[in-house]
Chain A
Amino acid sequence: MLLRVHNIQRFCLDDGPGIRTTVFLQGCPLRCWWCQNPAAQPGMHPRATDWPIPDLADVLERDRRFWTPSGGGVTASGGEPLAQAEALAGLLSELGRRCVHRAVDTSGTVPRDDVARVAPHADLWLWDVKAVDPARHHDATGGDASLPLDNLAWLLDATDAAVRVRVPLVGGFNADAASLADIGRWIASLPRRVPVELLPGHDIRSDGASPAPEARRAAVGAEQVARARDVLRASGIEVMEPRR
């Protein structure tokens, strides 16, 4: 079984606990206008590579020496890693056999079965909640908002998976108080309490290239982030402090 990978990045500090190696899988059902990883969209990355699982696990494991002291591991991100759910489950299962901590960074915009297939092999979910209003979500991402929200509610209800909700804070989209209050209320209504992490939109793409002009609008300042944290906390949910 092969996984289509568009990048592997070591020394990632924002994709879960500790020092991590993040594998960016190719393909994504969404088209967010602020996308920081457009190369992961289908057809956008001619040099994406198909990896056999054992070989990929070998490469991902090269920073193992830094994982034990930092509590780190591997994060599968994308694109949308669940878009290759079967192969991803295979990779995570292999990493599990090697006692590696595994995180999955997902928008959740996939069929329920795909979540269920991967769930037994993930030690931590990093679950994006971009918006709870279906129309706004659809306008901004081209995707159906109910799918990720329902999937997350199911995951928390039907499994004991560890989950961190990540709210990408996007200027001109969800960084206003009303949008954040909606998000906060929705998170507070979930079957289990989950910590929430804010991901401020920034103006550099993960591949270091300059973002498209429209994506620059996504950037938010430190004050906006602090205000967003206050608004979310007002809903009674736990918002994590920034790493540093």
Chain B
Amino acid sequence: MSIRPLIDEAADRLFRAEDTVCLERARLVTEAHRAHADKPMPLRRALALEHVLRHMTLDLASNPVLAGNTSSRPRAWMLIPEHGFREDAQVAIEHPELKGFLDGKVPQELVDFWHAGDPPRADGRAGAGIGHLAVDLDAVVHRGLRSILDEVEARRRRDADPARTTYREAMAVALRAVIDWSHRYADEAERLAADTAREDVAACLRRVADACRRVPAEPARNLFEGLQAVALVQLAIAIEGHGLSVSVGSPDRVLAPFAPEAEADPDGAADLVAALVLKLASNAIFGRGSKTQAVTVGGADHTGRDCSNAVTLAFLDAYDRVSASDPHLFVRWHPGLDAAVREKAVAMLSRGRSMPLLVNDAPTAGGFIAAGIPEADAYEYCVIGCNELGIPGRMFDSACSIGGGFNDLALLNRTLLALEAPDEIADMASLLARLEEAYAEHFREAFANRHRVQAEMARRAPTPLTTSLMRGAAERGTDMLQAMPYRLPGLFTRGLSNAANALAAIEHEVFTLRRSTLGLLVAAMRQPVLDDALRSRLAEAPAWGNDDDRADRWAVALVALRDRAQTRVEAAGGEPRHAVCHVVRSLHHVDGRRIGTSLDGRDAGQPVGDSVGALLGTAREGPTAVLGSVLKIDVARHFQGGTNLNITLTGSQASREVIAALVAGFFGDGGQELQINVLDAARLRDARRRPERYRDLVVRVTGLSARFVDLGDTEQLELIARAEEAARR
């Protein structure tokens, strides 16, 4: 019996659901924290997870194909008090109607409890990070939680260290809680199967019941059990309490032993994967504003062997079937990528699906290798957020936002505004020397901040379940925040394109044409809006993203001097290598609001660049020139954490041949990541007028994918402007 109707119904239910709040987790976690206030924090957290999983509502009705839910209803906000009772600033940009959504919806006693933390936190945040991690799903699916639990218990018996004993006890409690949770689903599925009049639903529920009796405790025996184990564990990790998102890693690698099943029945496999995608899409911390769970498929191993298989194709087909925007799907590209995977990905992009996003193996794994990760593990990388990179089960801090962000434009502005006598700056080299010092100062502060926040997170919000699913955790007996196989803390940046353009404009105005002085330009930066005459003059300067060395060399110079400053501060402080990631989601607006007028022709408060490519309105030479500029940056050296790069094509430009050639040309010469939107401005305008006709239109905004009609004006208009720019080619 085909489950397609059930998939369609579940998708419809999910994507039509209004945002609501589910207070279950918040209440249950609070109860447990109250009841176990005397216990050490790791144990308190494990008992809180156990309390939630034992008492939460099991929602098998909204998608009976697989078990697993975080909130009691699809798209209901699962509040994580440890992360704070608040909307994310980016969610408010992407979905302005959700601004203030929680006002009056959270009982005061919960707010009071979490605001009275130790020490109290004004924002109520008790130290939870933003997730952005992927665990070792291979162990979950093929070893099973029982085996991990046995190892934790055995280590606990052999090691008397009190802190490690406590932590191992917490891991054991958490692992048992997930196994018991799966048994709750088994019971509930059996009960519902007996009750339902629909035979297709009953058949699904009986299969769920059988699977949940076995997984994730024991190794999965088939594709369905593998997917069920993945769903339950992913959602349990989310419930444990990571703000924002947890990523799936590379499920096609994990499920590869079951590829023959997918090969025998590709349609059935794609339906099952679609059910998993919908399960994860229902995992809603911010309702429709939930973003950046990532799924990564394809890619090679360190010997160059292609790891894609029939499950890889099932993921692509599944995304084609359900227009989910989160989790977003990445395909790892390499020269030996299976032709069917390659063609399917290109065909989806050509049809305007804006998915999958593409990552190139050579510079990405190369970046990890350059940072000291052994080759075999480097080639296991995956996306763990918008576009941040990690290695499932082996690395945690590459994207947990505790290493500090910076904005190249903000640092340049700060440097310029701090000049006491700008006209004494004799040349660009002198200016760059000042800027390098500003980077160094920023990194010193950022690294100190990371140490402080990381220690605080480990103390306030340890995650024993998530930690137990990281390699070697049973042996280490400490939280993942304190130790992991690899450390590569992340640094997050934006504004490179703006800063490069500002430097090009300074050179053009002050040192080439000599029609202005640096003092006059700095004075103009102190105004909220640029004078029109100056704006036109600045616009005459060469701009990044046109494959024009006169501008591009400034981007290259910026990453080089940033690297020098970073390396110097790392060495002086005995710090590990940090991976720099150009990541945006909607932070180009958040950052922009805080940055004053800048010499790239931008007024105070306006957004910074939406990717590492050309600024909106400045790509005079089209997409190939944008790619040509970006290729001048050695990403494996300067962006080991990844870069986000959007290009927009019109429907008439985006034939499969053109997309395939853009990807082959860009990746062949070392490009790292490519997000291809195929948009027509007229269609987008129509979607604004008649949203009901465009419910399935998924677009890539910046670092997020979204249904176009769900977005607010700011980003809808931004996408239309990009489409108009593409049409001018």
Contacts and interface: CB of A to CB of B under 8 A. Distances in A.
Contact of B624 (A10, A68, A243, A244): A10
B665 interface: yes
A62 B628 contact: yes
A63 interface: yes
A19 interface: yes
B624 A11 contact: yes
A213 interface: no
Contacts, number: 60
B653 A66 contact: no
A29 interface: no
A244 B666 CA distance: 23
A70 B655 CA distance: 11
B223 to A, nearest CB: 35
B668 A65 contact: yes
Interface in B427-481: none
Contacts of B157: none
A208 B725 CA distance: 11
Contacts of B654: 244
A240 interface: no
A46 interface: no
B657 interface: yes
Nearest to A59: B547
Max chain B Cβ within 10 angstroms of own Cβ: one of A9, A10, A11, A244: A11
B21 to A, nearest CB: 46
A208 B669 CA distance: 31
Contacts of A90: none
Interface residues of B, number: 24
B671 to A, nearest CB: 10
B625 interface: yes
A18 interface: yes
A58 to B, nearest CB: 12
Contacts of A10: 547, 621-622, 624-625
Interface in B617-637: 621-625, 628
Nearest to A14: B652
A69 B661 contact: yes
- Bin the interface of chain A by size: 10 to 19
Contacts of B665: 63, 65-66, 68-70
Interface in B587-636: 621-625, 628
A171 interface: no
B658 A19 contact: yes
Contacts of A243: 652, 655
B724 to A, nearest CB: 11
A87 B651 CA distance: 37
A27 interface: no
B660 interface: yes
Interface centre among A9, A72, A244 (most CB of B within 10 A): A244
Given A208-B728, A243-B652, A18 B657 contact: yes
B729 interface: yes
B669 A65 contact: yes
Interface string A37-81: 000000000000000000000000011011011101000000000
Contacts of A226: none
Contacts of A244: 651-652, 654-655
Contacts of B657: 18, 70
B561 to A, nearest CB: 26
Nearest to B548: A62
B662 interface: yes
B664 interface: yes
Contacts of B658: 13, 19, 70
A13 B624 contact: no
B651 A66 contact: no
B661 A66 contact: yes
A63 B728 contact: no
A70 B654 CA distance: 13
A66 B655 contact: no
Interface in A4-20: 9-11, 13, 18-19
A101 to B, nearest CB: 13
A72 B658 CA distance: 10
Most chain-A Cβ atoms within 10 A of its Cβ — which of B622, B625, B657, B664?
B657
Contact of B660 (A9, A11, A69, A72): A69
A159 to B, nearest CB: 28
A21 to B, nearest CB: 8
A72 B623 CA distance: 15
B664 A19 contact: no
A11 B729 contact: yes
B276 to A, nearest CB: 33
A70 B628 CA distance: 16
Contacts of A63: 624-625, 628, 665
Contact of B661 (A9, A19, A62, A208): A19
Contact of B662 (A62, A66, A208): A66
Nearest to B668: A65
B291 to A, nearest CB: 31
23 contacts: A10-B624, A11-B622, A11-B623, A13-B652, A13-B655, A18-B661, A62-B547, A62-B625, A63-B624, A63-B628, A65-B628, A65-B665, A65-B669, A66-B624, A68-B665, A69-B664, A70-B657, A70-B658, A70-B665, A72-B661, A208-B728, A243-B655, A244-B652
Interface of A: 9-11, 13, 18-19, 62-63, 65-66, 68-70, 72, 208, 243-244
Given A9-B622, A63-B624, 6 more contacts: A13-B655, A18-B657, A69-B661, A69-B664, A70-B665, A244-B652
Interface of B: 547, 621-625, 628, 651-655, 657-658, 660-662, 664-666, 668-669, 728-729
5 closest Cβ pairs, A-B complex:
A70-B661, A11-B622, A69-B664, A66-B665, A65-B665
